[in-house]
Structure 1
Amino acid sequence: MPIGEFARLARLTVKAVRHYDAEGLLVPASVDPHSGYRYYRAEQVRTATTIALLRGLDVPLPVVRQVLSAPDDAAVAVVLGEQRERLAAELVRREQALRTLDALRRAPERVPYAVAIADRAPVQLRGRSGRVRADALDEDTGALCRLVLRELADAGRAPLVAVFPLDLVDEFDVQVGVPSAGGETALPGGSWATTLHVGPHPQLPLAYTALLEHVRELGHRPAGPVTETYLTDPDTAGPDEMVTRVAVALDR
C-alpha cells in the first residue's frame, strides 16, 4: 500500500513514517525506483504502531530496535521489563527532585541545623572503597553502600559510615564501612563538627552548607575528611524519615 494509506492505518503522519525509515526502524517493503515513492505491507502497521507507542514513552531508539528484533514474545518481555525498571528508577529520582524543590521553596536558609563541635577518638572502619562521580554522587554512593551491606552481613545492624574528601572533583574514591577494630580505613581523632540531617539524601547539601558555614563563623578551619553516618534503614524508613549524621574533621 502507498505511504499515505499506510500512515492513516497506523495513525501516524507521513513525516513520522519517513523518519522511522531514516532511523532504520520501518523500512518500506518496496520503493518505486523512478518516483522514490514508498510502499508498505499491511503487516507492517503493527510494527509502526509499536514504534510510535515506545517512542511516545521516550524509550530510546536502541531499545526500540531490541524490541523489533526480538525473536519471540519472551524476549520482548525481557527487553520491556528492563526498560520498566529504568523508568521506575527514573521515577524515584524525579520524586526525590520534587522533594528537594519543595525543601528549597521552604526557604532553606531558615532550616535549623544544630551543629556540635567535640573531640572524638580515632575510629577504624571495615568495608571497601569505590570510585564515584560527583555528578552521580547519590547513585554511586548508594550502589557502594548496598555492596558493602551484602559483604558485611555479619556486621549486624551497625550503621554504615561513608567517608568523602572535603573538596569534590569529577571522580574520587569513597570509603564505606562499619566501625571495627583492625579496619582498613582510619578516621582521625581530634575535633569534629557534626550535625543531623532528616530527609532524603539528595537534600544533604543543605546540611553540608549549614555545617560548614557554622564552622567558618566560629573561626575553625575544616581539614577533612567528611563523613556521612546513615542512622536509619532505607528498607524500613521512607525518604523523608532518613536520618544522616554529617561530620567534618577540623584542623587541630
Structure 2
Amino acid sequence: MTSTLAIGDFSRATHLSVKMLRHYHEIGLLEPAAVDADTGYRRYATEQIVAAQIIRRFRDLDMPLEEIHTVLQAPDVAIRNRVIANHLARLESSLARTQEAVTSLRELLDHPQANVPIDHRRLASTPAAVITDIVDKADALTWYRGAIGELAATLSAQDINPAGPAGGIFDTELFTEDRGRATVFLPCDPVPEPIGRVSATVIPPAELATIVHPGPHTDIDRTYGVLAAYVTRHELAVDGPIREYYLVGPAETRDESLWRTEVGWPIFQARHPR
C-alpha cells in the first residue's frame, strides 16, 4: 500500500507552501495521489517528494512552469535533456549580461568621467546601400547585426566593394520613445541594385562632434553622455539624428572588446568648407 502524507506534512517535507501545492495541482503540474471526495483534502505519496523537490529547484532557476511540466512528462531522456539544456543556455546568457552590467557599473563608479578625446568632422554626402526600419530599442543590437550582414552579402553578391566603414543613423524617437527609425548603411560607389530590404540612397552631409567608443555596446551610453555634455557645454548642439560609424565591428571580429564605434552628435557648421 502506498504511504501518503497530508498536504501540510508534504509541504514541510518539500518546503513548498500549501498555497503553491494547491496551485500546482490546479495547473496539473503536481497532482495529489488522492483527494477526499467529501472534504477535498489532498494527500501526496511519499514517492512524490522527489518530484516536488525537482520542481522547487527548477523554479529556483526561474524555469517556466510549462517547461517544468514538459520535463516531468517527457517521454524520453532526449526531450527532457533538450528542454533543460535550452533553459540553462538562457541562464548563461542572462548571467553574461549581468556580469557585463556589473563590470560597467564598477567602471562607472571608479571612473565617473571618461577621458576620451572629442573631434569635429564635416562629412560630405555619400552614396550608400541602406536598410531602414522602425526598431524597438531593446532589439536594436540584434537588428543592427542582421542588417549589417545583409548589406555586406548584397554588395558581395553584386561584386561591389564598400567605400568606407558601415554606419548607422538613429532618429531621436528611438531614444526618447524606445522605438523609432533606424538606418544602417555601407558607403559604396556604384550602389547596388535594390534587393530584399536593401536599397540605395545618398547619405546627406553632416557636421558632427565625434567620439570613439571602445568595446561592446552595453555601456555605449557613457560615451553618448560625454559627447552630449561636450556639445551642450560649448553650445554646439542642433536638431538631427545621431550617427554611428563602425570602425571595427561584427563584420571584422566577433570579439566585442575589439569593437570601435565612432559616435557623431550633430552640431552647427563650425567652419566653412574651402
Shift of 1:237: 6.1
* Residue equivalent to 1:174: 182
The structure having more radius of gyration, on CA atoms, is 2
Residue 131 of structure 2: aligned partner: 128
CA distance in 1, matches of 2:165, 2:76: 46
Contact 2:207-2:267 at 8 Å conserved across structures: yes
Say whether the 8 Å CA contact 2:122–2:207 is kept in structure 1.
yes
Q: Contact between 2:128 and 2:202, CA under 8 Å: does it hold in 1?
A: yes
After superposition, residues 1-252 of structure 1 pair within 5 angstroms as 1-3=4-6, 6=10, 11-13=14-16, 15=18, 17-109=21-113, 111-134=114-137, 136=138, 140-151=139-150, 152-153=152-153, 154=156, 159-167=165-173, 168=175, 169-181=177-189, 182=191, 184-234=200-250, 236=253, 238-252=255-269
Kindly indicate whether the alpha-carbon contact (under 8 Å) linking 2:148 and 2:184 is maintained by their aligned counterparts in 1. no
Q: Distance in 2 between matches of 1:180 and 1:76?
A: 50
Q: Structure 2 counterpart of 1:177, which letter?
A: F
Deviations 1:77-125 (A, max 9, x none): 222222122112211211221122012112322x112111122211233
Q: Is the 8 A contact 2:127 2:200 kept in 1?
A: yes
The alignment's C-alpha RMSD in Å is: 2.8
Does the 8 A contact of 1:215 with 1:222 survive in 2?
no
**What's the offset of the Cα at 1:238?**
4.4
Q: Quickly say closer, same or farther: Cα 1:116–1:14, change in 2 above 3 A.
A: closer
Q: Name the SS of the counterpart of 1:108 in structure 2.
A: coil
CA 188–30 in structure 1, closer or farther in 2 if over 3 Å, else same: same
- SS of structure 1 residue aligned to 2:265: strand
After alignment, is 239-248 or 156-165 more displaced?
156-165
Contact 1:130 1:144 in 2 (8 A): no
Identical aligned residues as a percent: 30
SS in 2 for 1:40: strand
Query: CA–CA distance in 2 between the matches of 1:42 and 1:233?
Result: 57
Q: Is the 8 A contact 1:166 1:223 kept in 2?
A: no
CA–CA separation in structure 2 for the residues paired with 1:156 and 1:77 = 46
The Cα offsets for residues 171-206 of structure 1, whole Å up to 9 and x where unpaired, read as: 112112322233635432142211111233121111
Q: TM-score, normalised by structure 1?
A: 0.82
3-state SS of paired residue (2:244): strand
Question: How far apart, CA to CA, are the structure 1 residues paired with 2:95 and 2:166?
Answer: 26
Post-superposition offset of 1:14: 5.6
Q: Letter of the aligned partner of 1:144 in structure 2? A: W
User: CA shift at 1:133, angstroms?
Assistant: 2.2
In structure 2, distance between residues paired with 1:156 and 1:18: 64
Q: Rate the CA distance shift 1:189–1:14 in 2: closer, same or farther, 3 A.
A: closer
Displacement after TM superposition at 1:45 (Å): 3.5
TM-score (norm 2): 0.77
Q: What CA distance in whole angstroms lies between the structure 1 residues aligned with 2:132 and 2:66?
A: 33
- Identify which range, 215-224 or 188-197, moves more after superposition: 215-224
Runs (5+) with no aligned partner, structure 2: 192-198, 270-274
CA shift, 1:6, in A, is 4.7
> Which residues of structure 1 form unaligned runs of 5+?
none
1:189 & 1:45 partners in 2: Cα distance?
69
Q: 2:121 is paired with a residue of what secondary structure?
A: strand
